[in-house]
Chain A
Amino acid sequence: MLDKNGIAKRIAKEVQDGYYVNLGIGIPTLVANYVRDDIEVEFQSENGVLGMGPFPFEGEEDADIINAGKQTITTLPGASFFDSAMSFSMIRGQHVDLTILGAMEVAENGDIANWKIPGKMVKGMGGAMDLVASAENIIVAMMHTNRAGASKLLKTCSLPLTGVGCVKKIVTNMAVIEVTDKGFKLLERAPGVSVEDIKNATDGYLIVEGEIKEMEF
């Protein structure tokens, strides 16, 4: 079973040379730590920066330079700042190559829910609805089950949707799964996790074909 860093490390393998990447809040943010250093990648944050760098050193924080998680950041050479309309032109206009975001639920048809629990929690969708409605390449980073132990990979989402039929791939603490026309297709399993474990933790239809290899990092 992977921890959050393990999930991020596995997703980092999906990031290719020349990609512009948007990272969501939470586990996705950790992906930046594991991207190979022999490839060129630029991270976009939807509040208005392309070419995000690491966190600043203590004493060098700038209230005017933050990421979408409102964390203080730095920029790398070649970075740019822009307004919100232009930022979402990059996203809606499909100029961003890869979107990695978290989810509360994903359905076997690629529907995603991650912004609201009616009557309990209302955070809002932020940029997530724009991202999932437009991106060609969306990877969800999440734990396979919720805190109560219930599966987050469902036949249909029970929570209000963020987008319909948009998720292509899911990386959890247990598995790498592709969303296909026929349902969730198991691609890889996490170290120490059996196919049976994954089946038991997946509520939606899980396709298992041939031998399922363990993840490599």
Chain B
Amino acid sequence: MISKKVANVTEALQGVKDNMTFMFGGFGLSGIPENAIAELVKLNVKGLTCISNNAGVDDFGLGLLLQQKQINKMISSYVGENDEFERQMLSGELDVELIPQGTLAERCRAAQAGFPAIYTPAGYGTEVAEGKETREFDGKMYVLEHAFKADFAFIKAWKGDAAGNLIFKGTARNFNPNMCGAAKINVAEVEELVSVGELDPNQIHIPGIFVQRIFKGAHYEKRIEQRTVRQKN
């Protein structure tokens, strides 16, 4: 067994520098690498390019990095719930590339899988396709989208082992498996770090080969963005 286990978040984030490009798993606040984000706030690295479906909310998730003006550029698909993000974007302080959600997932997956680019129909005929190569296949138009290049990917899983094998829970899975292995260094944080051999190989979502460092997150708030319930009866 090749061990990927590191002692804590500090060790996991060694090598993180200003002006790097990072991927962050998560959809909304679900399945975000809370411990890695907290450490990045502490390290106060600046000039970052962040690839993440959303940008957190004002006081949680990537919103914490935005507050400290650590982010230079965001690549996201939806940023609707963050006033500070919108303010920085409209004022021009923050460079933003908005891309379709499926394109975001596939540009991650392409990087993970060794494809330089992919063709997608999403965004054809819109400003998303401006300046990009397009091509017709079987009478339909497609846009060429390039694989991302990132220095670190920060992944959040439910369970993992020292070999780096990961299992996700519910919709907290989202972009995490697509980003894991898409960056030069892929850091996974887990709620439960179990002994090697405890996870059923049939149930592994992401094999350890895609992970360079794994650690147990010290604390998870797992904040709910839209708490919706129904009444009994």
Q: Which of B96, B127, B171, B178 contacts A81 (CB 8 A)?
A: B171
Q: Which of A57, A62, A111 contacts B170 (CB 8 A)?
A: A62
Nearest B residue to A165 via CB reads B125
The reply on A76 being an interface residue by CB < 8 A is no
The reply on B79 being an interface residue by CB < 8 A is yes
Q: Which of B100, B108, B223 contacts A125 (CB 8 A)?
A: B100
Are the C-beta atoms of B175 and A84 separated by less than 8 Å? Answer: yes
In the complex, per-residue mask of A58-92: 1 if CB is within 8 Å of any chain B CB, else 0: 10111111111111110000000111110110011
Nearest A residue to B80 via CB reads A123
Nearest A residue to B230 via CB reads A55
Question: With A64-B171, A83-B173 in contact, do A58 and B229 touch (Cβ < 8 Å)?
Answer: yes
B101-115 CB contacts (< 8 Å) to partner A = 101-106, 108-109
A95-120 CB contacts (< 8 Å) to partner B = 111, 115-116, 119-120
Question: With A66-B30, A134-B122 in contact, do A126 and B101 touch (Cβ < 8 Å)?
Answer: yes
Question: With A57-B229, A58-B229 in contact, do A164 and B98 touch (Cβ < 8 Å)?
Answer: no
In the complex, per-residue mask of A22-66: 1 if CB is within 8 Å of any chain B CB, else 0: 000000000000000000000001111100001111101111111
Nearest B residue to A112 via CB reads B126
Are the C-beta atoms of B171 and A125 separated by less than 8 Å? Answer: no
Are the C-beta atoms of A61 and B224 separated by less than 8 Å? Answer: yes
- In the bound complex, residues from chain B placing their C-beta under 8 Å from that of A87 are 102, 105
Q: How would you classify the secondary structure of chain A's contact residues: helix, strand, loop or mixed?
A: loop
Are the C-beta atoms of B128 and A129 separated by less than 8 Å? Answer: yes
The reply on B227 being an interface residue by CB < 8 A is yes
Instruction: Report the count of interface residues on B (CB-CB < 8 A).
Output: 60
Are the C-beta atoms of B27 and A48 separated by less than 8 Å? Answer: yes
Are the C-beta atoms of A85 and B109 separated by less than 8 Å? Answer: yes
Nearest B residue to A67 via CB reads B171
Are the C-beta atoms of A48 and B230 separated by less than 8 Å? Answer: no
The reply on A148 being an interface residue by CB < 8 A is no
Question: With A63-B30, A123-B79 in contact, do A83 and B101 touch (Cβ < 8 Å)?
Answer: no
The reply on A163 being an interface residue by CB < 8 A is yes
- In the bound complex, residues from chain A placing their C-beta under 8 Å from that of B223 are 63
Q: Which of B86, B101, B158, B169 contacts A46 (CB 8 A)?
A: B101
- In the bound complex, residues from chain B placing their C-beta under 8 Å from that of A162 are 126
Are the C-beta atoms of B80 and A124 separated by less than 8 Å? Answer: yes
Q: Which of B101, B124, B168, B222 contacts A63 (CB 8 A)?
A: B222
Docked CA distance A43–B76 (Å):
25
Are the C-beta atoms of A125 and B101 separated by less than 8 Å? Answer: yes
- In the bound complex, residues from chain A placing their C-beta under 8 Å from that of B127 are 160-161
- In the bound complex, residues from chain A placing their C-beta under 8 Å from that of B80 are 123-124
Are the C-beta atoms of B126 and A66 separated by less than 8 Å? Answer: no
Q: Which of A54, A73, A122, A128 contacts B79 (CB 8 A)?
A: A122
Are the C-beta atoms of A64 and B101 separated by less than 8 Å? Answer: no
The reply on A191 being an interface residue by CB < 8 A is no
Are the C-beta atoms of A84 and B105 separated by less than 8 Å? Answer: yes
Are the C-beta atoms of A83 and B105 separated by less than 8 Å? Answer: yes
Are the C-beta atoms of B175 and A127 separated by less than 8 Å? Answer: no
Q: Give chain B's interface residues, CB within 8 Å of chain A.
A: 27-31, 53, 76-81, 86, 89-90, 96, 98-106, 108-109, 120-128, 158, 168-178, 205, 222-232
3 closest cross-chain pairs (CB), A and B = A88-B102, A130-B102, A164-B125
5 contacts between A and B (CB under 8 A): A45-B171, A47-B27, A56-B229, A57-B232, A62-B170
Q: Give chain A's interface residues, CB within 8 Å of chain B.
A: 45-49, 54-58, 60-73, 81-85, 87-88, 91-92, 111, 115-116, 119-130, 133-134, 160-165
